[in-house]
Amino acid sequence: MYGLVNKAVEQLVKVNFGDDKWQEIAKKAGVDQTFIMMKPYPDQVTFDLVAAASEVLDTPSKDILEAFGEHWIQFTVDEGYGKTMSLYGNSVLEFLQNMDSLHAQIRLSFPELRPPKISCEQNPNGQLVVCYQSERAGLAPMLVGLVRGLGKRFSTPVELEYLVSAEADSTSEKFLVTFSQRQVA
C-alpha cells in the first residue's frame, strides 16, 4: 500500500500514544525508514505495523484497524484531499456509492493503487447495506472505522453490524449501517 497509508498509521500512533510508542512499534515491525507518501510499499509493511501496534498497545488488531479507518477520513482531509472528497457526495449513502469513482480518480496520482470495491444501497428501513470486496484479507474492520468516520463527517453518526460474519482473513464483507439518530439540520 502507498506510503500515505503507513504515514497515517504512524500519525495515529504518535498523536494518541506519543513518539516513543511509535518508535517501539516501528522497531518491532522492522521499519527503519521514513515513509514516502507517494511511494508504494509491500502490503506486508502495513500488516506488520498493525500487528506490532496491537502487541505494543495491547489492543486487538481489529480495534486498531477500526481506529485507523476512522482516522483516515480526517487524515486525508488534512493532507489536502478535502476538496476531492466533497466532490463525491454530501451524505454517507451518496459518498459510499461514489467510493469506486473516488478511488478511480485517486489512481491518477497513485498509479499502482489497488482499491477495494465498495457498493451501497438503502433498504426500506432507511438502513444502508454496504458490500466491500478487497484484494487483501483482513481489512474489513478498517471499513467499519471508515464508515463511522463518514458518519461523523456528515454529522449522521452510524452503527455497523457485520452481515456476513466472516473469518478474520476474508476479503469480502457485508455490513448493515444504522443511523444512530437523525440529525436535524
Which string of b and e fits 149-183 if b means at least 16 CB within 10 Å?
Answer: bbbebbebebebeeeeeeeeebeebbbebebeeee
Which entry of another protein, ligand HEM, none binds 105, CB below 5 to 8 A by partner kind? another protein
- Decide if 133 contacts 117 (C-beta within 8 A): yes
Helices 61-76 & 140-153 angle (0-180, nearest 10): 40
| CB neighbour list of residue 28: distance below 8 Å, 6 or more residues apart | 52, 55, 56
Partner from another protein, ligand HEM, none binding residue 116, C-beta < 5-8 Å depending on class: ligand HEM
Q: Give the range of 20-28, 51-59, 73-81, 157-165 binding ligand HEM by CB under 6 A.
A: 73-81
Please answer whether residues 140 and 173 qualify as being in contact, where contact means their C-beta atoms are separated by less than 8 angstroms: yes
* Partner interacting with residue 36 (select from another protein, ligand HEM, none; CB below 5-8 Å by kind): another protein
109 versus 165: smaller Cβ distance to another protein? 109
**What is the smallest separation between the CB atom of 174 and another protein, expressed in angstroms?**
30
Which runs of E-coded beta strand occur in the chain? 117-122, 128-133, 158-162, 172-179
Should residue 143 be labelled a site residue for ligand HEM when binding is judged by CB under 6 A?
yes
- Residues 154-183 touching ligand HEM, rule: CB under 6 A, are none
Cα–Cα distance, 9 to 6 (Å, whole number): 5
185 binds, among another protein, ligand HEM, none (CB under 5 to 8 A by kind): none
DSSP string, 87-112: HT-SSHHHHHHTHHHHHHHHTTT-TT
Q: Which residues form the interface with another protein (CB under 8 A)?
A: 3-4, 34, 36-38, 79-81, 83-84, 86-87, 105-106, 108-110
Compute how many residues bind ligand HEM; rule: CB under 6 A.
Answer: 27
Residue ranges binding ligand HEM (CB under 6 A):
1-2, 4-5, 40, 73, 76, 81, 84-85, 96, 99, 103, 106, 110, 113-116, 118, 134-136, 139, 142-143, 146
